[in-house]
Each structure stands twice: as structure tokens, then as C-alpha cells.
Amino acid sequence: MELKISHLSKQFGSNHAVDDVSYTLRGGVYGLLGVNGAGKTTLMRMLTTLIRPTVGSITWDGEDIFRMDENYRKRLGYLPQDYGAYPEFTVQEYLSYIATLKGIRPAAARKKVGQVLEQVGLQKARNKKMKTLSGGMKRRAGIAQAILNDPQILILDEPTAGLDPRERIHFRNLISELAQDRIVLLSTHIVSDVASIASQILLMKDGRFLSTGTVESLIAACPERPWQCTCTKAQAAALEKRYKVANVAAGPNGVVLRLLTAERPAADAVLKETTLEDVFLSCMGQRSGDDDDSL
């Protein structure tokens, strides 16, 4: 089980949305991290054969996925950031319809729909119309349709977008369960969604992979470290101009800053433990969740 990306590029006019990306995915959860506009969605659309690369190749166990055509898509489950949910369908009707589109026979489809409804925790909502579901329940229905065909490759584009913290925790737990014996590629710009569940992190910016590895290896390789200091508003303003700011908070004795730098930023600054969020800020120059133009 190997999904290999080799020197992959996608160009729209003069814009390189994905620029010479190479990587090999095997089993487990892969967190694709980057701000909006980094090229994550374009990469995922190529991995799902929705668009063809300008240059490069994608192979599944050594065979080109575009030549495999339907034989590749049978192995694939995909949840786009925005998916058609057929608002007048009930959850069960929607999943039954998607099962038909995926070529699952009626008897097998009925059984499989029941299984995935239980797996994503929607069995009690099976007769509710899609338009009445909460954001979290709609995303669970999206996961359900993606796993109906028991895919070996599961690709999820911003699956927790718009969810509250409790729903995001539920989603992370579900994705961890689904990762057994398959490849799960999860795209997000929210670090906490992948920090605890991804076996590998892919940091993407301007269409390229800046860095890849485990959370631990990325933290160890980060050239900047987080420092915390308490200062006046004037001092804080000066420090913010010189260093990357991970956090600003009002404290009883002044402004509490968390700064990313290779050197001690102030005499009273205290070195803190580095997190994946700090690595993200160091690489991207902005915090996860900050808005940018989507691509």
C-alpha cells in the first residue's frame, strides 16, 4: 500500500499552485498543514483525479492513478471542503444514493449504510433531512459517504471547518479509528486538528513542502524557540516589530508575550516548551487559523 507523489506541479496561467512536490504515503494519518492558499486543495484534487497535474506523476503501488482510472477511484474515499448534501434527502436516503453512485449492490449497500451510520454516530439521525443537521452532523455524514466503499485511501479536505471544539474532538477520535489499515490524508490550517493524531506532518507553503516529519522531529528541527516575557505596552510594541508573536495576553503585571526567536528576546524572558503550533508559526510566518486567500 503505497501512494507516491513524484515531482508534482500544477500551474494555472502564471501561478504555480503546486510546485515540484514529492512524497510517499503508506499507512496512517498524514496531516497536510498550511494556511489557506498554500496549495493543499489543488494537491488533493490531483490525488483524487479531479484535475491532472501539469508536470509529474502520482502512482498507487507503482501504477499511474490516471491510467488506473476507475480501479483507483474504487480504492478512494474523498470528503471535499464543500460537498453536495442533497438537503431534502434523509441521511439514510443520501447515503443510499451515494452507495448507488459508487456501484455498491443494493443488498450490500443497505448493510454498509447501517454500518457507517453506526461508525460515525448518526444512527439516531438516519431519518432526519440533511438540511436539518448541525454542522458537526453534516461533516459526519460527509465522512460516512467517503467510507461507504471501505477505501484504502481516505482524503479529507478541511473536515473540521466550522465545527465547535467539542465536535472537532469527536472528529479527531473518529479519524484515528478510521486510520487503521488505510492511508488518511487530512488537510487543515488548524494545527490542533492533527497534532495528536497524525503520524506524519506535511508543512506546505506557496505550493511546496517546507518540511515533513513526525511532530517530534519537526519540533526538534525548528530553529526558533518560544520565549515568554512580561512587559509594558510600549515594550511589547517594540518586541512585536522584531520577533514573531505566538501569543499576546493581558497579565496582572503587564502584557504577557510569547515570542518565537533563536535568541533570548529580553532579559527576563523564560524559555517555554515548543509545540507544533510554534513550528507552524516559525515556518509560515503566521498562526494557524489566520485567514488568507484560498486556492
Cell numbers of 130, please?
440533511
pLDDT of residue 193: 83
Q: Does 289 map to a domain?
A: no
Within this chain, do residues 16 and 162 fall inside the same structural domain, yes or no?
yes
Same domain for 229 and 144, yes or no, is: no
For residue range 5-34, list pLDDT tens digits in order: 999 999 999 899 999 999 999 989 999 998
Choose among 53, 48, 56, 59: nearest CA to 17.
53
175 and 250 housed in the same domain? no
170 and 63 within one domain: yes
Note down the domain range covering 261: 223-273
141 shares its domain with 190: yes
Unique residue bearing C-alpha cell 507516491 = 4
Domain end marker among 219, 244, 261? 219
Dist CA 119 CA 115 (whole Å): 6
* Sign of torsion over alpha carbons 164, 167, 173, 177: negative
List the pLDDT tens digit at each of the 295 positions of the chain. 899 999 999 999 989 999 999 999 998 999 999 888 889 999 999 999 999 999 999 999 999 999 999 999 999 999 998 777 788 999 999 999 999 989 899 999 999 999 999 988 899 999 999 999 988 888 889 989 999 999 999 999 888 777 778 878 888 888 888 888 899 999 987 888 888 899 999 999 999 999 999 999 999 999 999 999 999 999 999 999 999 999 999 988 899 999 999 999 988 999 999 999 999 999 887 554 454 434 4
Which CATH number belongs to the domain containing residue 170 in this structure?
3.40.50.300
Number of domains in the chain: 2
CA pair distance 129, 94, nearest whole angstrom: 9
User: Residues with Cβ < 8 Å from 287, sequence gap 6 or more?
Assistant: 246, 277, 280, 281
Q: What is the distance between the terminal CA atoms of the chain, rounded to a whole angstrom? A: 29
Give the pTM. 0.87
Tell me whether strands 153-157 and 183-188 are parallel, antiparallel or unpaired.
Answer: parallel
Is residue 136 located within the same domain as residue 11?
A: yes
